Amino acid sequence: MNKYEFLHPYSRYHGEFTPENFLFDANLQEFARRVSYISSLENSGKLSPEEAYKQIKNLWKELKASKKSLLDSTSPS
């Protein structure tokens, strides 16, 4: 395991495989990782609560847009 894999672990995808589901899962894992970092920075006093909230809110908007473009636009099977 290299340093990058240790610092940025990703879980394997176990759901129904479609390219859209796979990409959304990767985006969701990235969201969780970044929220964890922001939370740690806020807890250690390096970010204000307001700045942490603002950054997480922006990440949430990006995740919602990802869901809309990847999952909501596909036709139901």
Where do runs of H (alpha helix) occur along 1-77? 3-7, 19-43, 49-67
pLDDT tops 90 at residue 3: no
pTM (2 decimals)? 0.81
Q: Are 13 and 25 in contact (CB under 8 A)?
A: yes
pLDDT digits (tens, 9 = 90+) for 51-76: 999 999 999 999 999 999 999 975 55
